[in-house]
Amino acid sequence: MPSLAEAQQSLRALLLKKSVMRGDFTLASGAKSDLYVDCRLTTLDAEGGCLVGQVMHAVLVDAAKQLGVSPVGVGGLTMGADPISLAIAMSSFMAGDAQPIHAFCVRKEAKSHGRKKLVEGNFKAGDSVVVIDDVITTGGSTLKAIEAIEAEGGKVALVLVLLDREEGGRANIEAKGYKVFSAFTRSSILN
C-alpha cells in the first residue's frame, strides 16, 4: 500500500486523467461551467477505488478527531456516493479500526415495495454518520441526502466530499450547521 502522500498524489493524477473535463457543460444545478468532473470514472476504477478509500478514510479519521465525533457509518445520495462509501468502509476494515465504519446508500426516492426504505444498507435510527458526496457545487444533492438521513433518524456528524468545486456548496451546507471536509478542491486539483 502506498503512503498517504503517495496515494493523494496518485489519486489527484487519476482524477485529472479520467474525471476532469474541460468544455461547455450544464451542471445538475442548471448552471453553466467550463469544468465537469465525473468522479465515477475514478471511483469505479480498480486502482482509483483503492486510492479513494485510503485517502478519504484518512480525511475522515482526521475530521472525526478534530470534531470529537465517532461516526459508525458513511453514505450519501446514490450513485456518486456509493463507491466512495464502500471504499471508505473497506479501508476502515483493512486499517484495523477498532470499530470499522460501515456503508449505506440513500435512494433518490423510497422504494414502492418491500420495506419501502429511503436509506439502505448498514444504517439505523440513532446512528451518527458521515454524509458522503463525490462532488459539491451548490450542495443541493448533499443537503437532499442529509434530509433523508435525518428523516430516518440518523445524526449527521459531518460531510465528506471527494472534490469541492468551490462554487458555494460548502458555504450552503455549513450554513445549515454541517461541517464539510474535502479531499480535494478545484484549486488543489487544477494547480
CA 140 to chain centre: 14
What pLDDT band is residue 34 in, cutting at 50, 70 and 90? confident
- Residue 152 to residue 84: CA distance in whole angstroms: 21
Report the C-alpha gap between 133 and 117 in whole angstroms: 20
Report yes or no: 158 and 173 within 8 Å, Cβ to Cβ: no
Tens-place pLDDT, residues 147-186: 999 999 999 999 999 999 999 999 999 999 999 999 999 9
Q: Regarding predicted confidence, which is higher, 190 or 6? A: 6
Q: How many CB atoms lie within 10 A of CB 67?
A: 13
Burial class (CB within 10 angstroms; exposed 0-12, middle 13-18, buried 19+) of 10 = middle
Q: Report the pLDDT averaged over residues 87-94.
A: 98
Q: Which CATH code, of 2.60.120.1440, 1.20.120.1150, 3.20.20.70, 3.40.50.2020, is assigned to 52-186?
A: 3.40.50.2020
Helix (H) or strand (E) holding 130: strand 128-136
pLDDT score, position 35: 85
Output the CA torsion sign for 171, 172, 177, 181.
negative
Residue 116: pLDDT over 80 = no
Kindly state the DSSP code that residue 142 receives in the 8-state scheme: H
Q: What is the pLDDT of residue 92?
A: 98
The DSSP element (H or E) to which 104 belongs, if any, is strand 102-106
Distance CA 134, CA 70 (A): 22
- Residue 9: is its pLDDT beyond 90? yes
Where residue 191 falls among pLDDT bands split at 50, 70, 90?
A: confident
> What pLDDT score was predicted for residue 11?
98
What cell was used for 126?
440513532
| Domain residue spans of the chain | 52-186
Of residues 97, 74, 22, the one with CA closest to residue 181: 74
Q: How confident is the model at residue 115 (pLDDT cuts 50, 70, 90)?
A: low
Residue pair 126/73 in contact by the 8 Å Cβ criterion: no
CB atoms within 10 A of CB 2: 13
